[in-house]
Structure 1
């Protein structure tokens, strides 16, 4: 049954970059939760914790697309290594500021300056695209990558909460800074699968941001990220209000488990219908499955509802990332994918900030209305942008320009 996934690793070096990149990707799933738990525990304020975490995510609106452009221009190793080193140094500075009781403004400054961790997940997807291009194995590759992302979000929160409650509040933030640096270094040492630097074709258009189809995807991902960011902060606060703060990581992991299982099964299927239509259905599924969370009144209800809430996430993200790869030319693939990820992270910043505010003023249970509202906005955007996505992906009528590269302009 898992033959489609086994076929992926027939290529030399595929296992190497996947295994080493996993460490850096795990760090990404730990940093946000680690920051919220550390600051909320030491400074006793979820509003401050959400704001500090949100500020760093907001900074990625600038840093992540810039890093993606630099990766396309100079290569993965030359860009990612110094970026990871700087991120680790500033993360260490944040931990020191929290531990020593430094002024509140130092938490914002150090956390914002730490927002240079490279998007290793995007670089791994670029390596798969280099290996398989338009081959049918790319569907399995995108599915596998999404399952890895979800596995990171299963393990990450559990490890962070265990370290923060069992060792020290700062331990949950120290671990991801170490993993960021170590994972990125090991990933970049896998030079055999690193995509070559390509010069962009001027006829393919300018920045990927000018692509009308990608604009739709970024806005949908913005609201999807708001869903994820608000869900994270609200769940930590909700379990704390029930007297089960140490279970927050496990509860968050359940959402990722549901997503990972659905993604694993989705990768075994042969895609049917158009990508935009499948994406719309996926976003609709996310909105529908988030709705029952507003009924949660205790841990007994929250646990199964979080698992169910995650079951539409992976199929939606797999289809969405596949659409992004279709929209963007190979020479700008890192920048295009990081723009999509920026939408997710920017939305997560907004969601975590709003969730911290809502929890402080209206209580933790009220906060679950935020991810439901974000999912509804994502669905509305996908629905209204469906025609634009189809038009952007449609091959031109002229046989001379009817190739994949010519479709990436505006």
Structure 2
């Protein structure tokens, strides 16, 4: 992969060309289906806890533990994929995750809080690492950098839809039948999507390229450049986590419960639309410049919240930072790809995912403590974005993390995946 700057915008890229490439539609669709439980499980666990007679505090704790366990285990699962291949990790993880989610309604009421907590944590630890796996497949699936750029933007932008569709589906199933059915649907979708991915030839046959002599000391994953990039991304996650709590605070302030869902949904819709626009062409400038520009625009998009807009203005305002979220994350993946030693790509992607998730958890926690202070709550997303931009600008003077990758040989020339 090359991070060299282009001198002029390239022609538009059609998504039909991306999705028409062999295996792309299957892998993208399977990954999105298999990851739908990421948006379903926390809500389903909370609703099941309440239906089983537990408190909302305990249900919230279980939901948080599920997400935390899933995030913290990502690098381990990424390392296992780099060592043993994708299928050897995806299938056992999906089977265990689905089995544990199905077991929760059966075992929970009879063994009490301790067993329910154990099951939820184990289920989180065994979520299949589909996102990191798909990102590792793009170079072999789409050798053309322009098509790969479009696929990455489409993939990144579509992630936000998981957190709109997932909770809505759980709410509908729980309302029409029971939270137990919602948990069963969560388990079934996760397993079905993972099977679609794991049985596809590119995932079955994928192996990381063996380490080459030119990697030398760069074989070490924790390089200063990658660490700086991942630290910056915690600020991006912080902004997202703070948004979710701010949305609830807005709903309470204006007495409109729907705002707690509409504001994150508007943000996610902006992310999807931004991905569609960003992915249709290659943009001038290096990945570093695009990353910095995207982060600066992400920060600027949060500033209107400091004016404490009303409900309708707030719904419109959060579309802009959502649109640039896709740019930031897509560029971060490109930079990670260029900076990662051969044979450790999946693990590096998993650390990227964990960085955003850890920042999101921190943003949610801090925003919850200042939710009663309207201005402070509205300012937290901008604070997270400002932190990200500051790290990118000053962590490595003269060379931001992504730009140093330009000094290395293009990954496409070093990687030989089946």
TM-score by length of 2: 0.82
Q: Distance in 2 between the 1:358 and 1:98 partners?
A: 34
Q: Does residue 1:313 correspond to 2:322, yes or no?
A: no
Q: Distance in 2 between the 1:98 and 1:132 partners?
A: 45
* Alignment partner, residue 214 of structure 1: 226
Q: Distance in 1 between the 2:329 and 2:202 partners?
A: 28
Tell me the alpha carbon deviations over residues 78-127 of structure 1, each in whole angstroms, 9 at most, x when there is no partner: 11111122222333455567777943x55544332222212212222222
* Alignment partner, residue 80 of structure 1: 90
Paired residues in the alignment total 399
* Alignment partner, residue 273 of structure 1: 285
1:299, distance to aligned residue in structure 2 (A):
3.1
* Alignment partner, residue 199 of structure 2: 189
* Alignment partner, residue 121 of structure 2: 112
* Alignment partner, residue 385 of structure 2: 375
Residue pair 1:2, 1:268 contacting (<8 A) in 2 also? yes
2:303 to 291, 311, 329: 291
Residue pair 2:44, 2:170 contacting (<8 A) in 1 also? yes
Tell me the alpha carbon deviations over residues 362-383 of structure 1, each in whole angstroms, 9 at most, x when there is no partner: 3677533332322221121121
Q: Distance in 2 between the 1:291 and 1:33 partners?
A: 30
CA gap 1:300/1:384 in 2 versus in 1, 3 angstroms? same
Residue pair 2:70, 2:127 contacting (<8 A) in 1 also? no
Q: Distance in 2 between the 1:45 and 1:306 partners?
A: 28
Root-mean-square deviation (CA, aligned residues, Å) is 3.4
Residue pair 1:76, 1:188 contacting (<8 A) in 2 also? yes
Give matches, 1:333-348, under 5 Å. 333-348=345-360
* Alignment partner, residue 276 of structure 2: 264
CA gap 1:350/1:200 in 2 versus in 1, 3 angstroms? farther
Q: Distance in 2 between the 1:210 and 1:202 partners?
A: 18
Residue pair 2:65, 2:121 contacting (<8 A) in 1 also? yes
CA gap 1:306/1:97 in 2 versus in 1, 3 angstroms? farther
Q: Distance in 2 between the 1:380 and 1:37 partners?
A: 40
CA gap 1:198/1:146 in 2 versus in 1, 3 angstroms? closer
Residue pair 1:146, 1:314 contacting (<8 A) in 2 also? yes
Q: Distance in 1 between the 2:261 and 2:109 partners?
A: 22
Q: Distance in 2 between the 1:223 and 1:253 partners?
A: 20
Tell me the alpha carbon deviations over residues 10-43 of structure 1, each in whole angstroms, 9 at most, x when there is no partner: 4322222222222012222333455566668975
* Alignment partner, residue 39 of structure 2: 29
Q: Distance in 2 between the 1:246 and 1:172 partners?
A: 21
Give matches, 1:2-21, under 5 Å. 3-21=13-31
* Alignment partner, residue 302 of structure 1: 314
Q: Distance in 2 between the 1:86 and 1:364 partners?
A: 43
Tell me the alpha carbon deviations over residues 300-331 of structure 1, each in whole angstroms, 9 at most, x when there is no partner: 33322232331211111111111112222452
- Unaligned runs of 5+ residues in structure 1 are 397-401
Q: Does residue 1:56 correspond to 2:66, yes or no?
A: yes
Q: Does residue 1:132 correspond to 2:135, yes or no?
A: no
Residue pair 2:46, 2:56 contacting (<8 A) in 1 also? no
Q: Distance in 2 between the 1:185 and 1:318 partners?
A: 26
1:281, distance to aligned residue in structure 2 (A):
1.4
Q: Does residue 1:121 correspond to 2:121, yes or no?
A: no
* Alignment partner, residue 399 of structure 1: none
